[in-house]
Structure 1
Amino acid sequence: MDVLAHMMSLMRTKASLYGRLEFTAPYGFRFPAKDGICLMVTRGSCFLGVDDSPLVSLVGGDFVLMPTPGHYTIRSSPEVPLRPCEEVASAEEFYRTRLMCFDGGQGPSTSIVAGCFSLSTTESKLLVKHLPSIVHLQGSGSHIEPWFQSTLQFIAAEVSQKLPGGTAIVDRLAEVLFVQAMRSRIGSASATDKPSWLRALDDPQVGRAIELMHEEPERQWTVDELSRCVGMSRSAFAERFRRLVGETPLDHLTQWRMVKAGHMMRATPPIKLVEIALATGYESESSFGKAFRRVMGVSPGKYRSLNHDSP
């Protein structure tokens, strides 16, 4: 089973590319928080700051995803003072023109395509909660696919030309980059990465255990059974799973069941809750409802009413 492909099919992200940032150094701007911010540097270089994390140097060809920033900054050099981006263009003006320009002087120019990926459901946020504050794909990286730079160039051209249908093309291509950003976390050994199900997929035993739980969420899995299936002792398996994933096997199973349940509750025509409960490993609607409320923060009925218009 391709766990990442299955997860992405349920995550229901929607890309929205806002437009271009055209800055000439020196410059330094603070931008407001919004989940799923992405930046594509198409020319020049800059420094990116996210919350209290160290500054990250970006150059042309780099792609950055910030899953849940409190705020972020873009500046030409670390010592440049910051100002609110609204001093250059209001949010309404930027959305209308899809362009933010600032001429700081005679310094080098930087071009950035900015946008975001909306995580439209609670279960979507469950799937990305363990991502690092900055997912940085370097255009010059040794593991970047050959098509990656071509895609960035295509997006930059579409954003600047404003041709009919361009927004739809850019949004679809940006979703491909989002999948690539998620894929880049599989097996990542970066010191800045948190434990996550993505990192664990590359581990032969833990990755296989995740596959088994995702293939059969209705099965009454135990840690003993999972460890036997992947050829490990119970204690060694439990320790490695928590170290790589950041939670216990059964905690991960419960969250995955709720992701599947949330997806089923948006189906048309509606699926009975008792059927969803059985499909996700619960013997009764009552036990399912308790688990759902604990993980999702609302009852199944409330969740369904809040999401009944979602496709």
Structure 2
Amino acid sequence: MAASSIAPEPSWSLRDRLGEVLHHLRMSGMFYCRSELSEPWGIDLPPLTGCLMFHVVTSGHCWLEINGFAPCLLQPGEFALVPHGHGHRIMSELGAPLAKLFDLDREEVSDCYELLRHGGGGTPATMVCGAVRFEHPAAQRLVRLLPSLLHVQAWNTIEEDWVRSTLSLMAAEAKHLRPGGEAVITRLSDILVIQTLRWWLAHHGSTQEGWLGALQDDRIGQAMTLIHRDPECGWNVASLAAAVAMSRSAFAAQFTQLVGESPMRYVTRWRMQLAWSWLREDKQTSIGDLAARLGYQSEAAFSRAFQRYMGVAPGAARKLQEETSA
């Protein structure tokens, strides 16, 4: 691919660069479930590879237990996120008998929304739980940095009122499921997942190294954002260095040190990750059109790069994804 002459971009603030990442937090819901539970009860949730699983208690309480962590008590107004799809357990009390999630009877309300009723007839509790997936590589990169469990007990002051209002609305919809209620609950759930990630970035993002730390560097972060915004551009080390007003050698060394790989390897990896997500999302677009969207002058050049980085040809990857989602 030919190199491009790029005029230096205006300096972006850290807020702009993190905003670029948050912009890509568009998710696809795997399933959402409203649960009506009564003590004693316990549910064993299996691992769900590539998914983020969340739990909101709308009345009562529950314990959440994940291997390697102390059990945590969830109360109304709190939000728990298990970002890496690890198997875990929710229960009315520690040591309660457990039933496997997919062994329980569930009422299907829509393609991805279910009602579950379970328990021994004692003190009731209600919850909204779900599993979502992020397809965009920026979002996936962010998720990989998260701890195995996020438990938000107190929101920022500026957010607390509307988050609690959102949780109250979710609780009302879960209690009296009206027409369209499942759509309201799923959208509110998605908002709370994204808000939880924003909460984590605000409290812990500045302490991160690696990819997120590099994104927060004034010049390397700008270069990464250029790559994210315009993956089809004919980037090379010289054009990226010029865009952030650095010498070629200093830029290449600092980028590699902070990101953990060379600038051009990052460019190629980013394009291949985008291609992978596009193959999943856009089944009508030809491989040649995908290659053009990523700046490759031929389908053959794109296919070689894709197979080198992903270990499978684009056409085979699309077929594999179709079989997996069937």
2:150 counterpart residue number = 135
> Which residue of 99, 111, 119 maps to 2:116?
99
Query: Does residue 161 of structure 1 match 2:176?
Result: yes
Hey, what's the Cα distance between the residues in 2 that align with 1:154 and 1:120? 28
1:1-311 aligned within 5 A: 2-4=19-21, 6-9=23-26, 12-14=27-29, 16-24=31-39, 29-34=43-48, 35-75=51-91, 80-81=94-95, 83-86=97-100, 90-93=103-106, 98-103=115-120, 110-118=125-133, 128-142=143-157, 144=159, 146-186=161-201, 188-189=203-204, 197=211, 201-223=215-237, 225-227=239-241, 229-230=243-244, 233-234=250-251, 235-242=253-260, 249-262=263-276, 264-265=278-279, 266-267=281-282, 269-271=284-286, 273-306=287-320
Indicate the percent of aligned positions where both proteins have the same amino acid. 29
Deviations 1:14-62 (A, max 9, x none): 26321125354x7654322233211012345444222333434433211
The AA in structure 2 aligned to 1:93 is R
TM-superposition CA deviations, 1:83-119 (whole Å, max 9, x none): 32249x933336587233435978xx65432122145
1:186–1:198 CA contact under 8 A, matched in 2:
no
RMSD: 3.9
- Higher RCO structure (Cα 8 Å, ≥6 apart): 2
Q: Distance in 1 between matches of 2:213 and 2:165?
A: 27
CA contact (8 A) 1:27 1:104 kept: no
Aligned pair in 2 of structure 1 residues 187, 207: CA closer, same or farther (>3 Å)?
Answer: farther
Q: Is the 8 A contact 1:186 1:200 kept in 2?
A: no
In the TM superposition, what is the alpha-carbon distance from 1:304 to its structure 2 partner? 3.3
Residue 279 and residue 140 in structure 1: after superposition, are their counterparts in 2 closer, same or farther (change >3 A)? closer
* Residue 166 of structure 1: how far off its partner (Å): 1.0
Measured against aligned partners, the alpha-carbon deviations of 1:258-293 in whole angstroms (never above 9, x if no partner) come to 24324554547534x334224324344233223323
Q: Give 1:183 shift.
A: 2.8
Determine if contact 1:15/1:171 at 8 Å carries over to the other structure.
Answer: no
| Matches of 1:307 and 1:286, distance apart in 2 | 21
Residue-pair matches, total: 296
Between the aligned partners of 1:74 and 1:139, the Cα distance in structure 2 is 21
Provide the rounded CA distance (Å) in 1 between the counterparts of 2:37 and 2:115: 11
Deviates more, 1:123-132 or 1:43-52: 123-132
Alpha-carbon deviation of 1:300?
1.0
Checking the alignment, whether the CA contact within 8 Å between 1:48 and 1:55 is kept in structure 2 is: yes
1:236 match: secondary structure: helix
The TM-score normalised by the length of structure 1 is 0.74
The separation in 2 between residues aligned to 1:162 and 1:64, in whole angstroms, is 23
Q: Alignment partner of 1:65: what SS?
A: strand
Q: Distance in 1 between matches of 2:152 and 2:265?
A: 30
**Which range is displaced more, 200-209 or 121-130?**
121-130
Q: Give the drift of 1:70.
A: 3.1
Q: From the superposition, tell whether residues 239 and 305 of structure 1 become closer, same or farther in structure 2 (CA, over 3 Å).
A: same
Deviation at 1:250, TM superposition (A): 4.3
Structure 1: which 5+ residue stretches go unaligned? none
Unaligned ranges ≥5, structure 2: 1-15
- d(CA) in 2 for partners of 1:128, 1:286: 32
Distance 1:275 1:27, change over 3 A: closer
Q: Retained in 2: the 8 A contact 1:40–1:114?
A: yes
Comparing 262-271 with 56-65, which one deviates more in the overlay?
Answer: 262-271
Per-residue deviation, residues 205-264 of structure 1 (Å, max 9, x unmatched): 34322211112212343456545544563333432334xxxx655454334312432455
Task: Report the alpha carbon displacement of residue 148 of structure 1 after superposing the two structures with TM.
Answer: 1.5
With over 3 angstroms needed to count, the CA separation of the structure-2 counterparts of 1:95 and 1:276, relative to structure 1, is closer
For residues 254 and 136 of structure 1, what CA distance do their matches in structure 2 show? 36
**SS of corresponding position for 2:188:** helix
Do 2:228 and 2:270's aligned partners in 1 also have CA atoms closer than 8 Å?
yes
